[in-house]
Structures are given as structure tokens and as C-alpha cells.
Structure 1
Amino acid sequence: MDRVAEEIVEAQDLHPAPAPSTAEDDDEPFPSMSEQISEQLGGVRGLIESSVPVLAFVLLNVLLGDNVAGLEKRTALYWAIGGAVGTAVLIGVYRLLRKEPIRHAVNGIFGIALGAWLAWRSGDAKDFYLPGILLTLAQVVALIVSVAIRKPIIGYVWGVLANKGKHDWFDNKELFRTFQWLSLVWAASLFVRAGVQGVLYLADQATALGVVRIVISWPIYAATFAFTVWVVRRVTRRQQAALTP
């Protein structure tokens, strides 16, 4: 009997019981609003870095185009493409050398490279922005379809990003309805972004298209994301309060 007791004690020492969760942990089931927004947008630095290649393209295309610098339109476009791709690559290399996360940088390089290839192939600066417009419209369609089949994308995104990969919200009627209409909010937000850029694309306003992409895209995204986090936190906290004796 003494030997059994000793073995139990040894097992407890090797595998200590997990520390009980605190009330603070229970009250904060997912990261704070600022942490989530920072993660998704890459913080202020991420916003700046994602805009620099587009800004380089716009500035070089305007300053060098229309023979302002004695260059032909296509030559000026090539310089603008080189500036955009070059700055995107430099940002990625800089982050890599500093051993910093490069997810946002890699995404940026891919999008810039695709737009640059289309613009180079057509010789038209506006095609630089076409991949972003089409991708945004595809996201709008996906969001609407997810609501129609009662599988709201925003709910699944929230589960992955903020709920440790769990999707227990699906059995929570209030949260389910919340993610349904939030998915439509996101669809409307993205449609506005793509719609404004699409109109300028069809009007052959390449410079205005670049300016609009920089000025309105990220602010709209950030505002929609902040609204989403606020709504979800409000619903979950109200439900937790209702369960508290």
C-alpha cells in the first residue's frame, strides 16, 4: 500500500494538475480589440508598408508619364512597375533580415507582382489595380453565398482568429444570427471598396484609382473590422452576464 502511495505522489510530481482558470481569463475569451486589429492589419507599420508599393507606382507613373520627364508613356509605366515591385521586395527582405513576420509582406509582394505583370502586358497603368478589384468582388460573392447556405464566413474567421479554433458559436442562436448579418456588413463594405475602384477602372482613371485605393481601402477595412469585434464582444459579454448568478 505504501508503495502505491509513493507511485501516486511521483505521478503527480511528473504531471502536475493544470492551474485553475481565473475569473479574468473567463471574462476575456479572446484577444482585445486592439490586439486583433493589430494582428490582422499588421499594425500601423503594416498599413504603411502595404501602401508604399502602390504609392510608388502612382507617384512614378504620374511624375514620369505624359512626357513630363521626357519618357514615353510605356517607358514611364515600366519605371512605375519597377518601383512598386522593388519597394515590395525590399520591405519583405528587410523584415526577413530582422527576423520579423513576413506574412503581410509576402501577400503584398504577390498582389503587386500580379498587378505589375498585367500592367506590363497590356501597357495600361489601370490594369495594375485589376487583381485587387476582382479579388474583392470574389470575396463579396463568397460572403453572400455563405449567408445564403447558413455558413457565415465571418463566424468561421472569428472562430479561427479569436476563439482558439473552436466553432461553438454555430450552436449559439444569437451569435449565429450575429455572424449572419455581420457577413452581410462585410460584403457591403467590400462592395463599396471594389465598386468605387471599378467605376474608376472603367473610366480609365488610373491615377485616381491609385489614390482611392490608398485613401479609402484600409480605413474602410479597419472600421468594419473594429465594428465586428465590438459587436461580437458585446454579444458574448451580455450572454456571460446573463449566466452569472
Structure 2
Amino acid sequence: MSNQNERHASNTRPARARSGMAALANAGENDEFSVIAAIGGVRGVVESMLPGLLFVVLFICTSDLRMTVIASAALAVVQVVVRLIQRQSVMGALGGLVAVGICLFWAWKSGEARNYYMYGFITNAAYIVLLLVSMAVRVPGLGFLVEFIRSLPTEHFKAWLSGWRSDRALYKAYARITWLWIGLFALRLIVQVPLYMTNQVGWLGTTRLVMGIPFWALAIWISYLIVADPLHRHRMLEKERESTSTEGGDAHPTAQ
């Protein structure tokens, strides 16, 4: 009896909220959507922002690039170590550590604090190019990513691609959110590059923080609102096709 209760509890336990694009892949499946979970949870947000916040504050206060780099690097390492000690997932923290390490390395080697932000410029520009190419070939990049996470096509790639691209409402939704993210990445560059060129490290660091996690949260929330309904209808159509296919397969041997 206890085993049955345990199984029932596991079946009724709420699914763990997904983060990043996986949260959009889950859109329309149920009513559970958390912006905080989608951007990595409270702890993930704090951990991702702290090294950058420490960098800009410490550099403004001391103008000592060497001390600023060492302190920011030490903080990023401590965050990973704490997660290891607590036996928690370190993948997100490790990814953040690598990104921070690249930024700090460029600032250190160049001797200019503003180069801490160069890696962000490159990644934002790369995302813009990739997403523009995806729109040019009529395979919206955000839609491709969401559908890949959602259904993981291991075979019949063309059928998988055609399956969601032929749904006009879903395709339009994916196109809209792709343009939304292109706009986000472009806006970051438009605002931040002039600050970089004029070496305004304080303002550059501030805008980087403001246009980082907060803008990410806003973009993923708007993306959810755009995608949820058409993706829900698409899921229902998929289930109907699967049901029809299953019934047809069962009926064939019986008729013989």
C-alpha cells in the first residue's frame, strides 16, 4: 500500500520548472510558468550578476584593474566551490565561470577594464547574425531551438522540420519571438558600444547589468505569451494525429 501511495505522490508532484529555452519548450503543456525559474532561479540570477557587479563597483572605487580582476575571479570560483560542497548542480555555475574567466582575461591582457565587456559584444553580434540567417532561410532560430528541445529529432529530420514550420500560427509566433530576441541583442549593442568607445566603464557596467538578466527575463516572458497558445494547439494536433495513427494501426490486423 505504501508503494502505491509513493507512486501516486510521484505522479501528482508538480514537474520541476524548466529554465532558459526549455521553459518555452514546455509552454502550452500546462499553466505552470515561472519567469524566475526560466532565468535560472533566484540563486542562479544572483550568482550570474555578482561577479559583474563586483567588477564594476570595485573598479570604480579603486581604479585598480589587477585587484578588481583577482577579486571577481575569486568570487566566481567560490560560487562553484560552494555548489560542489553543497552537492548541487554546477553546470550553470561552471558556464558562468568560463564566461567570466574570458571577460577577465581580456581585461587583464589588454590592461583596460572596458575590455571585460568585449566578449558580450561578440556573443550578442554572433546571435544577431545567426538569427538573421535563420529568418532569411525561413527557419526561425528561436523556433528551431524550442522545437529541438521539445521533441529532439533523432531521425526523419525533414518531417520534423516540416511538422512545425507548416503550422502557420506556430511559425508566425516563432518568427515574432526570433525578431524580438534580435531586437534585444541589437539594443544592447546600440546602447553599450558607444559607452565602450568612450571608455565610460561605470556606465557600461551599469547598463550591462540592467540589460542583462532583467532584459532576459522580460524577453522570455513576452516570448512565452506569444508562443503558449499556438504551441498548445500544435500539441493537441500532434496528439490527434498520434491517436488516429494508433487507431488505424490497431484496426488493420483486426480486419484481416
Give yes or no for TM over 0.5: yes
The match for 1:100 among 71, 76, 88 is 88
Distance 1:32 1:97 in 2: 31
Following superposition, the deviation at residue 215 of structure 1 comes to 1.8
2:167/2:234 contact within 8 Å kept: no
Q: 1:68 maps to which residue?
A: none
Report if aligned partners of 2:51, 2:76 keep a CA contact under 8 Å in 1.
yes
| 1:112-151 correspondence runs (5 A) | 112-151=100-139
Distance 1:86 1:170, change over 3 A: same
TM-fit CA distance, 1:155: 0.8
Unaligned runs of 5+ in 1: 1-26, 66-75
Residue identity opposite 2:29 in structure 1: P
Deviation at 1:233, TM superposition (A): 0.9
| Contact 1:33 1:226 (8 Å CA) reproduced | no
Write the distance in 1 (CA, Å) between the matches of 2:100 and 2:112.
15
Tell me the distance in 2 between the aligned counterparts of 1:232 and 1:158: 10
Relative distance call for 1:148 and 1:28 in structure 2 (3 A) is closer
Write out per-residue CA displacement over residues 86-141 of structure 1, whole angstroms, 9 at most, x where no aligned residue: 11111111112212122221111111111111111111100011101111111011
Matches within 5 A, 1:1-245: 29=29, 32-34=32-34, 37-65=35-63, 76-161=64-149, 163-165=150-152, 167=160, 168-237=163-232
Q: Which moved more, 1:212-221 or 1:233-242?
A: 233-242
Q: Aligned with 2:212: secondary structure?
A: helix
Contact map agreement 2:29 2:232 (CA 8 A) in 1: no
Q: Secondary structure at the match of 1:33?
A: coil
Residue 156 of structure 1 aligns with an amino acid whose one-letter code is: F
Structural RMSD (CA): 2.6
Is the 8 Å Cα contact of residues 170 and 234 (structure 2) preserved in structure 1?
no
C-alpha change, 1:242 and 1:135, in structure 2 (3 Å) is: closer
The number of residue pairs the alignment matches comes to: 207
Provide the rounded CA distance (Å) in 2 between the counterparts of 1:50 and 1:30: 28
Paired amino acid for 2:58: L
Q: What are the Cα deviations for residues 196-215 of structure 1, in whole angstroms up to 9, with x where unaligned?
A: 11121111111111111112
The 3-state SS of whatever aligns with 2:29 is coil
Matches of 1:198 and 1:227, distance apart in 2: 26
**Structure 1 residues 54 and 145 mapped into 2: Cα distance closer, same or farther (>3 Å)?**
same
Higher RCO by CA contacts (8 Å cutoff, separation 6 or greater): 2
Q: TM-score, normalised by structure 2?
A: 0.73
Deviation at 1:191, TM superposition (A): 1.0
The one-letter code of the counterpart of 2:49 is S
Amino acid at match of 1:222: A
Q: Return 5+ residue gaps in structure 2 as ranges.
A: 1-26, 154-159, 239-256
Structure 1 partner of 2:242: none
Distance in 1 (CA, whole Å) between partners of 2:233 and 2:50 is 41
Give aligned-pair identity as a percent: 26
